[in-house]
A and B are shown apart, each in its own frame.
Chain A
Amino acid sequence: MFQLFSADTGHAGWFLEHAWLIPVVPGVAFWVIILFGKRLPMKGSEVGLLSMATSLVLAAGTAYQWIQRVDDASSGESGRGVAHGASTLLHSALETEHGVYTQPVIKSWTWWQSGGLKFSIGQHVDGLSVMLLLLVAFISLLVQIYSLEYVRGDRRYTHFFAALTLFSAGMLVMVVAENMVQLILGWEIMGLCSFMLIGHWWEEEANSRAALKAFFTVRVGDVGLLVGTAILFGAMGTFSIQGISLKALDGSTSHTVLLMASIALFIACIGKSGQFPLHTWLPDAMAGPTPVSSLLHSSTMVVGGVFLVARLYPVFHTGFDINAAGQHFNFISVIGGITIVIAALLAFVQNDIKKVLAYSTVSQLGYMMMGLGVGAWVPAVFHIFTHAFFKCCLFLCAGSVSHTGSHHSFDMKKDMGGLFKKMPVTGVCWIVSTLALCGVPFVSGFFSKDEIIDNAHNNHYAVFWIIGLGGAFLTTAYMTRATYLTFFGTPRGAAAGEHAHVAHSGTEDDPLDADALSPEPADVHDPAFAMARALDIEAPDYAVARAPAGSHGTVALLREEELVAAAAHDHGGHAHDDHAHDDHHAPAHGFIVKTDSPALLTVPIMILAFLAVISGYLNAAPFKIEKFNEWVAPVSGVFFPELAHATFKWVNALPSVLLVAAGFAVSLFVCKAIYNEAPSALKGLTRRSRILGALHAFLVNKYYLDFLYENVIVHAIAHPIAQGAYWINQNVIDKIVNEVGINGRKSGQWVYRNVDQRVVDGAVNGSGTVARETGGALRPVQSGKINQYGALLFGAAAIGALVLVIVNT
């Protein structure tokens, strides 16, 4: 029966029908950038930008048409969905007892057939897909605009944009996937791009190790994806998502099978979305450039796992009995809950601003998973939506801070502080996004995160309600700490204009840049200057030329009057995750505020901050706005389980609001105590108290999970395998190879001696000898002596005559 639905109408509107173009455009752009990018005037970035803009336009059109479709369906008008001929069920809407279910626009093309099994590729466009299409396209576009400035002059500028574009293509493929195979395709493309982008500066070993760690950890989870798909296929006989959804709900598949499949698929989500215990790769992934962190590892790629659960929710809902009566725990919610707490705790002990944000992302992903685990599908998905905006904004702000304020350092304790005065625009955007993240009322996070917490309580998952509230407290606390360290207090290190640090081995600016030796002085982004600086060469010309703006010394320890980063940059030592480019800005580069970052950085941040505020209003329960719910949530008993929905009451929201306020107050107090110069009883607490010190060490070592994974598990498995493989290689394979070689030579020699020399040559020589001997034997016949000739003649005649006579008688 589901097949009738899968062949949807041809009248769904051009954008909806052609939503499959949205991933195709960046996919094609990737190849164009790879093949031609380096020859283009903007080195390929224009192709990337154009493709993302096109995708965004297409996605916007798709969203608009989808909204129309939903509105038409709910208003009872089925004119838009009627197909010619075929079945009467080919409408755009399906009447169910819970309201009208808007049919997704599904198309598929079979690209491979084998023994009756068809593999197809296509699109399955419904509310969830439309939301994510729009989100991914929009955020990708903003991040690419941001990257124009951020990675300018990078050694692999073209490839960076190519990888970003490919990533967008991969995620878009996954989002519109019509079947599991296509979903896996998109999933894997994303994993590949994550690897490529984290290891963008792979010349530094830490970065390549981080990339490998990310890839392998997610890969461990991907086993679950394949197993789960196989289980579902085995039980249901189909890969198509709609088919799976249908069969999961109509009772035709056994519960145990669904449970197994759910566990397997969720393991993949644990890996991809950084849930406990496979969360360890996400903080390390901050080794990649900031645009990568903001795009992949906060807003889009890591929500792939959440998307998978949301997409195949019928399977998970039935498999884990999510809303069954009497259920207080299930696998998803437990993992989500644990993740929220442990990530939040870890965020307190990070000095790197990106790592704080990374753990915050892990924690928020925990919220999303927990939300799905307690049956709060719409809030969780809405949280994807709002979280993308404010988290991406936070990351881009961090990048902007490092770019302009702290000379490419991300260390809050060493190089930041008091930057609010210098970078007010960035600061305001950061604060707005932080408010959204914490779930302060009337900013977007409140409308999504608190809905999750509320629904947890409503669906009888009391423990997780408490965990959610605790998480809100912790979130506020650590974000306050991060904000304080970065923007307030006294400026430290690079923020204060100091740049006396150990010479950095890898430079921010690319010493491998081809035009590093150009003699032209003018531009601040002059790679030649970077080269000079990188080699610790005094560049007096520049110093003279730039004297008015501030001298450019080299390794000297200077204290600048102006806090403008118009100085040489010799900073090493600290954790440099970002080596984009030389950014010593002459004062004229900031946007709006001169000391802030340039427009290409600041404008995307402002756009995102604005959206962080208002995106929540798409589904603001207090104000009875439920647009998101209407447009995205599938309503059906056939393709989607029925879910309860908590009604909003301010009373229910009060605990979280109070906890947010408390978190803020406590954190601010502690921060002021610890990080200010005034003496305080709280300073040095972890050093004085053994318990607290041990706890601190435990957190700093990330619960020793990395140690467990790498040194214990991997070593225990890999080491014997590696040794065994080495032994096999040396003793078995090499032996075989050597033996083959030796035998080959021996047989060759034998053949040479016996066959070639004796037989063949013997035959050849022998025939020659025979001929010569025969000739020699016959030569005396022709002796030149007449007598002998006469003898022969007459002798032959005599014998001939004799023979004749005998014969004739």
Chain B
Amino acid sequence: MLLNQFLLLGAVLFCTGVYGVIARKNAVMVLMSIELILNSVNINLLAFSLFNQNIDGNVFALFIIAVAAAEVGVGLALVLLVYRNRRSIALDELSEMKG
């Protein structure tokens, strides 16, 4: 197995996630795209961890998974709050910070 194949896979997923962040209107969809990105990072880390025979990569990947979970929890809580106040989670409409 080439190292590159895993890395490239990660790159493709990353770019897909980036596209999703930019293109998606629904806040939950954006969060999902962010999950994609995080997963691609995980793949990257683990690939290098195996390549360098270093366990730190695994540890880091575990941490990322934990952090991602926390982040999704808080993020969804925020989205819920926004939904409660505005009845909409279309990011196009959430431009109060415009300036």
User: Which A residues fall within an 8 A CB radius of B?
Assistant: 779, 782-787, 790-791, 794
Contact = CB atoms under 8 A, between A and B. Distances in A.
B18 A794 contact: yes
A790 B18 CA distance: 8
B97 interface: yes
A794 B22 contact: yes
B91 interface: yes
Given A791-B22, A794-B18, A794-B22, A783 B98 contact: yes
Interface of B: 18, 21-25, 27, 30, 91-92, 94-99
Given A794-B18, A794-B21, A786 B94 contact: yes
Given A791-B22, A794-B21, A794-B22, A786 B30 contact: yes
A794 B18 CA distance: 7
A783 B91 contact: no
5 contacts: A784-B96, A784-B99, A785-B95, A786-B30, A790-B18
Contact of B99 (A782, A790, A791, A794): A782
A790 B21 contact: yes
A786 B94 CA distance: 8
Interface hub of A779, A785, A787 (most chain B Cβ within 10 A): A787
A787 B18 contact: no
A784 B98 CA distance: 4
A790 B98 CA distance: 15
The 10 closest A-B pairs by CB, nearest first: A784-B95, A784-B98, A784-B97, A790-B21, A791-B22, A794-B18, A786-B91, A782-B99, A785-B95, A783-B98
A782 B30 contact: no
B21 A787 contact: yes
A792 B51 CA distance: 33
Contacts of A782: 97-99
Contact of A787 (B23, B96, B97): B23
Contacts of B21: 787, 790-791, 794
Nearest to A786: B91
A374 B30 CA distance: 138
Secondary structure of the A contact surface, majority rule = helix
Contact of A785 (B18, B23, B94): B94
B99 A779 contact: yes
A690 to B, nearest CB: 120
Contacts of B91: 785-787
A784 B24 CA distance: 15
Nearest to B97: A784
A790 B99 CA distance: 16
B10 to A, nearest CB: 15
A787 B25 contact: yes
A794 B23 CA distance: 12
A784 B90 CA distance: 13
Given A785-B92, A785-B94, A790-B18, 7 more contacts: A782-B99, A784-B96, A785-B95, A786-B27, A787-B21, A794-B18, A794-B21
B30 A787 contact: yes
Contacts of A785: 91-92, 94-95, 98
A371 B28 CA distance: 139
A800 to B, nearest CB: 14
A786 B24 CA distance: 10
Nearest to A780: B98
A783 B95 contact: yes
A790 B22 contact: yes
A805 to B, nearest CB: 13
Contacts of B22: 787, 790-791, 794
A784 B18 contact: no
A784 B18 CA distance: 18
A797 B24 CA distance: 19
A733 to B, nearest CB: 68
B25 to A, nearest CB: 7
B12 to A, nearest CB: 14
B29 to A, nearest CB: 10
A790 B25 CA distance: 12
Contacts of A783: 95, 98
Contacts of A779: 99
Contacts of A787: 21-25, 30, 91-92
A257 to B, nearest CB: 102
Interface centre among B22, B98, B99 (most CB of A within 10 A): B22
Nearest to B33: A790
A787 B25 CA distance: 8
Nearest to B25: A787
B51 to A, nearest CB: 21
A787 B27 CA distance: 9
B99 to A, nearest CB: 5
A785 to B, nearest CB: 5
A779 B95 CA distance: 13
A797 to B, nearest CB: 9
Contacts of A791: 21-22
Nearest to B37: A794
Contacts of B97: 782, 784
Contacts of A794: 18, 21-22
A779 B99 CA distance: 6
Contacts of A786: 27, 30, 91, 94
A127 B48 CA distance: 136
A794 B22 CA distance: 9
Contacts of B96: 784
A599 B27 CA distance: 129
Nearest to B98: A784
B90 to A, nearest CB: 10
Contacts of A790: 18, 21-22, 30
B52 to A, nearest CB: 22
A782 B95 CA distance: 9
B87 to A, nearest CB: 18
A794 B17 CA distance: 11
A787 B31 CA distance: 11
B32 to A, nearest CB: 13
Contacts of B98: 782-785
B26 to A, nearest CB: 10
A440 B92 CA distance: 139
Nearest to B21: A790
A221 B10 CA distance: 124
Nearest to B23: A787
B97 to A, nearest CB: 4
Of the listed residues B24, B27, B30, B95, the one surrounded by the most CB atoms of chain A closer than 10 A to its CB is B95
A144 to B, nearest CB: 98
